[in-house]
Amino acid sequence: MIPGIKNTLPFFYRLLLSIAAVFCFSPTIHAQLCNGSLGDPVVNINFGNGNGITNYTPTNAYTYTSSTCPNDGFYTITTSTSGCFGSTWLTVPSDHTGGGAFMLVNASVTPGDFFLTTVTDLCPNTTYEFAAWIMNVLARFGIRPNITFTIETPGGTVLQQYNTGDIAETPTAIWRQYGFYFTTPVNNPVIVLRMRNNAPGGIGNDLALDDITFRPCGPAVITTAIQGNSDTVNVCEGNTNQYTLTGAVSSGYVTPVYQWQVSNDSGAKWRDITGGNTLTYQRMPTNAGSFWYRLTVTEQSAISFTACRIASNVVAINVHGKPVVNAGPDRILFAGDSVTLAATIAGESPSYFWLPPDYLNDAALLTPNASPPLNMNYTLFATSKYGCVNNDAAFIKVAGAIYVPNAFTPNNDGKNDSWRIPYLDPLLGAVVNVYNRFGQLVYHAEGTTVDWDGNLKGMPQSAGAYVYHIHFKKNNGEVNMKGTVILIR
């Protein structure tokens, strides 16, 4: 927020009738103020990623240096600064937003302009909010920065002016936003932004500057609440509800043009909704995601200039996905033994439980042990913190024992072509080896389904007897099984 400027975007529709009385003001500012809604920044000077000289300084007033500790009369564009002048400057770890660079100025001995730029592409006869983030980088008492912002025409006519007063020291790096409102000329919206440092340099008067923005101001644009006087609705994926978004615009437009917009990245980028050109918009069900909606308004005469749009408050519809539930693979259990249900779950803080709870050591555990005496189907139910539900099931086959076939015929007739071992659960981690009459290992499986096609490295093995060895661990000890299987061709 801008110090001394109140929020100009009240949400609830019941405030619309009184919106004209809601003003942004500071007791120390006597500029024209916004009594409506703001648009997106049409100018955003953020100094990039710190790649060097900027053209925003007056000619010969300040000199660029690559040093992150500039001397008097110098400036730099940097992403951070620390340890300057015996640590009499604050450590500034990042720019205002944490993702780029800022301008660092060590004031010249003589007060004067330290920032100057011309701003174009503004709308004529339009009120704009100007704002900038500034920091006094001095870590101890000294000369304090005192900045005058001036908005003027290219010919030098002052349109608006604002003074920050002395910017006090802070114990750590704290960015402060300063701003005011002004109106562009009717015939030529080109303006000049000038920043003057009123205090002399020397011991102090050192500052950081970042994120200079201009936002258009217009009549109030309000999007009404869509559910329970809330600007946020949470639903689950698969919800078929339709929501009617309703906008209202206070007087001030002659021929208003409406445009609903949606954002899928929390307002970083907005997209015009095709056909969303009235005061109401019917929002249809969508897949999971976070969807922000707002209504923008502009005059018909300025429809081609997106910079002239004024935006409403934001209404968010969050479509939450169902929890991701995996009850684990189906299992094979020997009578009298137990297995662990290898379940996994993911989502937005889901709670869960198993049904039926019969023969589970704890139905509230995600991976309980199961020891049913008969075949059993266990279902894992999950509910997210937003009430979205999902489930998955695991089947447990209870077998009396492992049956190992003693012959197979790999002749590709579709009958008994492979040597397989029913009820040997892969999760038992069983090691299965098959040897020919010379003791050569011709087949090996470990922790997987047994399925031997009678080949070794793609070569068919001869008919005859082969010896197998099966080893695995059960809850009550180790199991070793040996025998012979006949390969018939």
- The residue assigned the tokens 């100009």 is 8
Provide the CB-side half-sphere exposure for 28 (13 A, CA): 9
Q: Look up the CATH number of the domain holding residue 448.
A: 2.60.40
**DSSP assigned state of 331:** E
Residue 36 domain-assigned (yes or no) = yes
- Answer yes or no: do 394 and 429 share one domain: no
Sign for the pseudo-dihedral over CA of 35, 277, 232, 262: negative
- Answer yes or no: do 252 and 390 share one domain: no
Residue 3 domain-assigned (yes or no) = no
- Answer yes or no: do 278 and 389 share one domain: no
- Answer yes or no: do 144 and 20 share one domain: yes
- Answer yes or no: do 119 and 207 share one domain: yes
Q: Tell how far CA 163 is from the center of its chain.
A: 37
Residue 14 pLDDT: 32
Single out the residue in 169, 187, 218 at which a domain terminates: 218
Single out the residue in 382, 399, 416 at which a domain terminates: 399
- The residue assigned the tokens 């900027």 is 54
- Answer yes or no: do 171 and 210 share one domain: yes
- Answer yes or no: do 188 and 39 share one domain: yes
- Answer yes or no: do 314 and 232 share one domain: yes
Helix/strand number for the chain, H first, E second: 0, 38
Residue 109 pLDDT: 85
- For residue 340, give the H/E element and its range: strand 339-340
Residue 108 pLDDT: 87
- Answer yes or no: do 451 and 380 share one domain: no
Single out the residue in 199, 218, 237 at which a domain terminates: 218
- Answer yes or no: do 59 and 194 share one domain: yes
**Residue 387: Cβ within 10 Å count:** 10
**DSSP assigned state of 202:** S
Residues with Cβ < 8 Å from 452, sequence gap 6 or more? 408, 418, 419, 420, 434, 443, 445
Residues with Cβ < 8 Å from 178, sequence gap 6 or more? 2, 3, 131, 132, 133, 134, 147, 149, 162, 164
Q: What is the token pair recorded at 146? A: 């005192």
Residue 8 domain-assigned (yes or no) = no
How far, in Å, CA of 72 to CA of 80, rounded? Answer: 18
Q: What is the token pair recorded at 450? A: 């047994």
Domain containing residue 330: 324-399
Residue 99: what residue type?
Answer: G
Domain count, the chain: 4
Residue 333 pLDDT: 87
Q: Look up the CATH number of the domain holding residue 234.
A: 2.60.40.10
- Answer yes or no: do 81 and 137 share one domain: yes
How far, in Å, CA of 273 to CA of 265, rounded? Answer: 15
How far, in Å, CA of 456 to CA of 478, rounded? Answer: 29
- Answer yes or no: do 129 and 50 share one domain: yes
> Running along the chain, 489 residues long, what does each successive block of 10 average in pLDDT?
33 32 32 71 85 67 90 92 94 92 91 90 86 94 93 92 93 93 84 91 87 89 73 92 89 88 94 95 93 92 82 94 95 87 95 96 94 96 96 93 92 93 88 96 95 95 96 83 95
Residue 18 pLDDT: 32
